[in-house]
Amino acid sequence: METEVLQVISPDGTINEAAVKKAASRLLNGEVVAIPTETVYGLAANAFDESAVAKIFSAKGRPQDNPLIVHIAAIDELAQLVTDVPESAKRLAKAFWPGPLTMILPRSDRVPAGVSAGLPTVAVRMPVHPAAAAVIRAAGVPLAAPSANLSGSPSPTNAAYVLADMRGRIPLILDGGACKVGVESTVVSLTGDVPRVLRPGGVTVEQLRGALGEVEVDDAVLHKLKDGAVAASPGMKYKHYAPRADITILRGTFEQFCDYVAGKDATVLCFQGEESHFPHAVTYGKAHDGASQAARLFDALRELDEHGAATVYARCPELDGMGLAVYNRLIRAAGFHLIDLDHTEK
Ligand code: AMP
Ligand code: MG
């Protein structure tokens, strides 16, 4: 299959309507199209078309038990997808939609079971990216879309990375430039007594608490699931976001980090401005700035592979604000390998 790449944002910043139209007609024809969103690129299909949705799983090599997120362009499209819209969902939609927040709610019969990997719930998000919204509107149906990478590789934050993974597997990629947020959406479940964050992302836990009061953070956000445990968010159990390099996160000060890596034949994943201290370094954003780290993280992971890095030591992000989302992705990329330098013999 030929994979066409079309610019969806014109040089003057306006939406290329011809590209949007082409994407919409492919989608209504049961095909899969990669689209830009503010988080990462998505691999989209008509959420109401079960066989189109199945093509997403085969294009990605995605395990059948890992559910997709359904994307809408207006809040009133939510009601057809779920059997109940609780007060908490209304409040979150008002505060954070359109934006990088996904809500888990009870699934209606309109949504094929395959979208949710058979779960009784469905994940719904309203993206803010103008091209994503335009394609959903032009198609006139909600779009099921996971990240547009091959299963197991880092989520793509630009069209070139989508093409690297999806060439020959899908007919069309819309190129909307670099994704602003750079990590996937925050996933919050509203099906229990207390709202629960299953995956941290562009909307922070602090922001959710500001809107809702009590909000829990699922154990799987920070810790490895025990063998045999059931993941509330199935994506969390897979070895996600992983480059080929063997990554270890080093928690401690910059001096402790430098002491630890001195003399080791390794590449360093550090913050901007620190790279001159090391012979081989890739940077991922600024220290103490989770948003800038998120925007760079997946690109940095792909760059490590491009450089052929075998052993990598990474600086540890802070766990508040967007740092939590960065840590959640990085600890998985590192296979949960972290060394606390405060408790290490030199
Ligand atoms: P991706 O956008 O590729 O990161 O994939 C979507 C992620 O959303 C999945 O990996 C799941 O972890 C999460 N997700 C989607 N639907 C549900 C659901 N019904 N319940 C819990 N988590 C979900
Ligand atoms: Mg993904």
Measured CA to CA, the distance from residue 78 to residue 69 in angstroms comes to: 12
pLDDT digits (tens, 9 = 90+) for 66-114: 999 999 999 999 999 999 999 999 999 999 999 999 999 999 999 999 9
Residue with CA closest to ligand 1 atom 20: 233
pLDDT at 52: 98
Does any ligand 1 atom lie closer than 6 A to the CB of residue 154?
Answer: no
Nearest ligand to residue 238 Cα: 1
Residue type, 298: F
Distance of CA 68 from the midpoint of ligand 2 (Å): 9
> Is the C-beta atom of 153 inside 6 A of ligand 1?
no
Residue 306 CA to ligand 1 centre (angstroms): 28
Which atom belonging to ligand 1 lies closest to the Cα atom of 119?
19
Using the mean position of ligand 1's atoms as its centre, give its distance from the Cα of residue 68 in Å. 5
Q: Is the CB of 67 under 6 A from ligand 1?
A: yes
Could you tell which of 104, 186, 230 is best to mutate to test the pocket of ligand 1, judged by most ligand atoms within 8 Å of the CB?
A: 104
C-beta neighbour count of 226 within 10 angstroms: 8
The Å distance, Cα 344 to ligand 2 centre, comes to 34
Whether the pLDDT of residue 344 is over 80: the answer is no
pLDDT score at 235:
72
CA of 103 to the centre of ligand 2 (A): 16
Outline where 140-253 has alpha helix (H).
Answer: 159-166, 205-212
pLDDT in tens, 28-59: 999 999 999 999 999 999 999 999 999 999 99
Task: Give residue 230's pLDDT.
Answer: 78
Measuring CA to CA, how many Å separate 305 from each of 59, 150, 239, 246, 323? 22, 15, 16, 10, 23
Q: What is the pLDDT of residues 245-281, one digit of tens each?
A: 999 999 999 999 999 999 999 999 999 999 999 999 9
* Nearest CA residue ID for atom 1, ligand 1: 146
* pLDDT confidence band for 232 (50 / 70 / 90): confident
CB atoms within 10 A of CB 10: 11
**pLDDT score at 233:** 79
Tell me the pLDDT band of 157, cut-offs 50, 70 and 90: very high
Question: Is residue 341's pLDDT more than 60?
Answer: yes
What is the mean pLDDT of the segment spanning 200-227?
A: 94
The mean per-residue pLDDT over the stretch 231-252 comes to 81
Cα Rg for the chain, rounded, in angstroms? 20
Least Cα distance to 328 among 298, 285, 286 occurs for: 298
Domains delineated in the chain: 4-185 (3.90.870.10), 246-343 (3.40.50.11030)
* Ligand 1 lined by 203 (C-beta under 6 Å): no
Does pLDDT of 237 surpass 80? no
Determine if ligand 1 sits within 6 Å of the CB of residue 123. yes
Atom index in ligand 1 nearest the CA of residue 107 equals 19
For residues 201 and 183, give the distance between their C-alpha atoms in angstroms, rounded to a whole number. 6
- The encoded tokens of residue 101 equal 């927040």
What distance in angstroms lies between residue 231's CA and the mean position of ligand 1's atoms? 11
Q: Give the Å distance between the CA of 10 and the centre of ligand 1.
A: 32
CB of 186 sitting under 6 A from ligand 1: no
Nearest CA to ligand 1 atom 2: 146
- Sorting pLDDT into bands at 50, 70 and 90, what band is 240? low
| Ligand 1 in reach of 103 Cβ (< 6 A) | no
Instruction: Report the separation in Å between the CA atom of 31 and the middle of ligand 1, taken as the mean of its atom positions.
Output: 21
**pTM metric for this prediction:** 0.96
Residue 322 has pLDDT above 80, yes or no: yes
